[in-house]
Amino acid sequence: MPPLTVDPADFDAFRDDLRDMPEQDCSNDIECAVRTILESIGEDVTRPGLRRTPERIARMYQELTAGYHVEPAKLINDAIFEVPYDEMVIVRDIDYYSLCEHHMLPFMGRAHVGYIPDGRVIGLSKIPRIVEMFARRLQIQEQMTQQIARFIQEALHPQGVGVVVEGLHLCAAMRGVKKNNARMVTSAMLGSFKRNQSTRSEFLENIGRSHLDW
């Protein structure tokens, strides 16, 4: 077999940067998109600090949006118990991290969840997991609050559910108005938490939010 010989005039055929196709150092959609963003803001995507950034961000978004792929039935699987308990159950100060769907910037804070069982309770560790399932998506805080409340309502059919979420939004803190410490508070009250003022007050007092306006 004769050795492979390349005419110097044809060297250019082997040069990536002269192909019609843009150079693809990215191996999936997110990586390629991040690369495009970096180039668009005038960055040099080949400099050492940025070389692996598209890849890192692609992995990061998989993690931060993992809530889309959680199967709710599996999440609460084996964790619902028949118990004749009908006093308020509260899990407070659940830390969460989410991404606002308008800017894809983080918002974070604490969620407080309460419910009054009607014969069925859910394992305590599941409530933070439920919050996380809805937080790890592109969200708006109001919607996330409602989704958590409705999910518990559907799963347990309790007498009532209350959810209060506090959030610090980086899109508000970093941009424009720069209200650095302004927290947004949202709530969703279902069943007896909605109908019954004293139930609601008991919940709000327990989560240290007795001054929440209604």
Active site residues: 100-103, 141, 169, 171
197 Cβ neighbours under 8 A, 6+ residues apart: none
Contact between 196 and 154 (Cβ < 8 Å): no
Contact between 136 and 212 (Cβ < 8 Å): no
Residue 193 tokens, joined? 């938490």
Q: What is the β-pairing status of strands 106-116 and 160-169?
A: antiparallel
Question: Please, what is the minimum distance in Å from the beta carbon of residue 61 to Zn ion?
Answer: 16
Question: Please, what is the minimum distance in Å from the beta carbon of residue 98 to Zn ion?
Answer: 10
Nearer to Zn ion by C-beta: 139 or 147? 139
Question: Please, what is the minimum distance in Å from the beta carbon of residue 67 to Zn ion?
Answer: 18
Helix, strand or coil, per DSSP, at residue 27:
coil
Q: Which spans of this chain sit near Zn ion (rule: CB under 5 A)?
A: 100, 102-103, 171
Nearer to Zn ion by C-beta: 133 or 172? 172
Nearer to Zn ion by C-beta: 139 or 192? 139
Helix, strand or coil, per DSSP, at residue 158:
coil
